[in-house]
């Protein structure tokens, strides 16, 4: 018998209050009860995104919210500068190409953050850029990009809209949409929110809404103008994922009760302890500028990362993630985004040490745990 633990960078474990909210009989989305829920969730999402803009809820995964951002806030043939550096950064460019945009891919080595100077040079070479896209916390590599600095570069060196994938950054890193002048900020329910997949979130600045009026992309389900009108009235344009919205109300309240500072600090400490623990076991951390949502580390050459992931699940009931694309065989990723505590980090590090020992790695017993413990105690 094994208890099951999710420690991948999404989907993440669902707190009890949210599970119970979803277990109750369904309510109708055109009734007053749902309107009340919508009003509360809308207000709390604005609080979390730190914006006066409407944070629209779409019944889709996060990628649907990406697509909505592209098809509403740009036009066919527009130049899209897509900052790479991982699987999700590249996805913005893929969507742009699918919708006939002129995509300029900014190549960034996996594991590194893009430098503001690189973005400045690309914008100077492409003065007609209409949109710059970035994945704030690149889940495939565990890198955090310097969002605030990059936003300034976009403002100073172009007229472009700045669209940020905050799917594993909102609720983890500081991401004040209005203060940093982000034009578009996207997130998804199965990450820091700790609720099931099914909701994509997208908020847009006034500048972006002006562009939406002129956009010539075909739009129907993801026509955000209609969605904005309906959601301002505590409704949705189409049938929403009602149960997931009910769960969202619970977890947003939990976040508000914890407080923004404490929420971000908890993620920071858990991430620091995970990094310290993995490094102390002799694993090489991938990210030069690490995100607080997920820690990615290379396993030593003689080991296979998929085997480590398999043993973690089969022998300890813990789901962590492997590497993606060319890092499939060599990388493991531990997710600590969402409602995790120090005890969860201790547990995953303890199990990882056992697996690495079994696979023949010569590591000092308790080294990873001791390093993590020091981080927690220093606090």
Residues 6+ apart with CB under 8 A from 10: 139, 167, 168, 188, 190, 191, 197, 335, 337, 338
Q: How far is the CB of 353 from ligand PLP (least distance, A)?
A: 27
Question: In this complex, which beta carbon is closest to ligand PLP, that of residue 188 or of residue 194?
Answer: 188
Question: In this complex, which beta carbon is closest to ligand PLP, that of residue 135 or of residue 330?
Answer: 135
Q: Is 126 helix (H, G, I), strand (E, B) or coil?
A: coil
Question: In this complex, which beta carbon is closest to ligand PLP, that of residue 171 or of residue 368?
Answer: 171
Q: How far is the CB of 338 from ligand PLP (least distance, A)?
A: 12
DSSP tag of 327: G
How many helices and strands (H and E) does the chain possess? 13, 15
Question: In this complex, which beta carbon is closest to ligand PLP, that of residue 60 or of residue 373?
Answer: 60
d(CA 246, CA 251) in angstroms, rounded, equals 9
Q: How far is the CB of 26 from ligand PLP (least distance, A)?
A: 23
> What pairs with residue 129 in β-bridges?
79
φ and ψ at 133, to 5 degrees?
-120, 145
Question: In this complex, which beta carbon is closest to ligand PLP, that of residue 143 or of residue 372?
Answer: 143
Sign of the Cα torsion 102, 104, 110, 116 reads negative
Q: How far is the CB of 87 from ligand PLP (least distance, A)?
A: 8
d(CA 113, CA 290) in angstroms, rounded, equals 9
The contact set with ligand PLP (CB under 6 A) reads 10, 61-63, 88, 135, 139, 165, 167-168, 188, 197
Q: How far is the CB of 302 from ligand PLP (least distance, A)?
A: 29
Q: How far is the CB of 329 from ligand PLP (least distance, A)?
A: 20
The angle at the Cα of 145, spanning 373 to 308, to the nearest 5 degrees, equals 50
Question: In this complex, which beta carbon is closest to ligand PLP, that of residue 79 or of residue 168?
Answer: 168
Question: In this complex, which beta carbon is closest to ligand PLP, that of residue 63 or of residue 319?
Answer: 63
Question: In this complex, which beta carbon is closest to ligand PLP, that of residue 61 or of residue 75?
Answer: 61
Contact present, 82 and 133 (Cβ < 8 Å): yes
Q: How far is the CB of 106 from ligand PLP (least distance, A)?
A: 16
Query: E strand or H helix at 257, and its extent?
Result: helix 242-258
Q: How far is the CB of 373 from ligand PLP (least distance, A)?
A: 29
Query: E strand or H helix at 72, and its extent?
Result: helix 62-72
Contact present, 134 and 147 (Cβ < 8 Å): yes
Q: How far is the CB of 165 from ligand PLP (least distance, A)?
A: 5
**Tokens 């890193």, located at residue:** 173
d(CA 310, CA 351) in angstroms, rounded, equals 12
CA 294 to chain centre: 10
d(CA 353, CA 220) in angstroms, rounded, equals 50
């Amino acid at each position: 018998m094994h208890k099951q633990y999710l420690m991948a960078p999404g989907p993440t474990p669902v707190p009890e209050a949210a599970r119970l909210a979803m277990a109750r009989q369904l309510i109708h989305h055109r009734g007053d009860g749902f309107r009340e829920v919508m009003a509360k969730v809308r207000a709390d999402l604005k609080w979390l995104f730190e914006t006066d803009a409407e944070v629209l809820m779409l019944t889709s995964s996060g990628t649907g919210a990406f697509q909505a951002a592209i098809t509403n806030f740009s036009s066919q043939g527009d130049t899209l500068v897509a900052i790479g550096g991982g699987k999700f950064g590249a996805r913005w460019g893929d969507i742009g190409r699918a919708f006939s945009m002129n995509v300029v891919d900014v190549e960034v080595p996996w594991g590194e953050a893009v430098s503001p100077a690189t973005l400045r040079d690309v914008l100077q070479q492409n003065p007609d850029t209409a949109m710059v896209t970035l994945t704030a916390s690149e889940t495939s590599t565990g890198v955090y990009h310097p969002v605030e600095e990059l936003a300034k570069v976009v403002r100073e060196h172009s007229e472009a809209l700045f669209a940020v994938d905050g799917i594993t950054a909102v609720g983890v890193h500081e991401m004040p949409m209005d203060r940093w002048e982000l034009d578009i900020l996207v997130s998804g329910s199965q990450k820091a929110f700790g609720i099931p997949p099914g909701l994509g979130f997208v908020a847009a600045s006034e500048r972006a809404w002006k562009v939406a009026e002129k956009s010539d992309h075909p739009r129907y389900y993801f026509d955000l103008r209609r969605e904005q009108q309906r959601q301002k009235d505590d409704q949705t344009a189409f049938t929403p994922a009602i149960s997931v919205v009910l769960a969202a109300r619970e977890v947003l309240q939990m976040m508000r009760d914890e407080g923004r500072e404490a929420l971000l600090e908890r993620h920071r400490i858990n991430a620091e302890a995970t990094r310290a623990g993995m490094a102390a076991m002799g694993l090489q951390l991938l990210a030069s500028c690490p995100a607080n949502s997920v820690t990615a580390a290379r396993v030593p050459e003689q080991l296979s990362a998929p085997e480590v992931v398999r043993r973690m699940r089969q022998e300890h009931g813990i789901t962590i993630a492997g590497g993606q694309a060319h890092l499939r065989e060599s990388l493991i990723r531990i997710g600590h985004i969402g409602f995790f505590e120090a005890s969860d980090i201790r547990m995953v590090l303890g199990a990882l040490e056992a697996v690495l020992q079994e696979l023949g790695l010569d590591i000092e017993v308790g080294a990873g745990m001791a390093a993590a413990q020091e981080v927690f105690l220093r606090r």
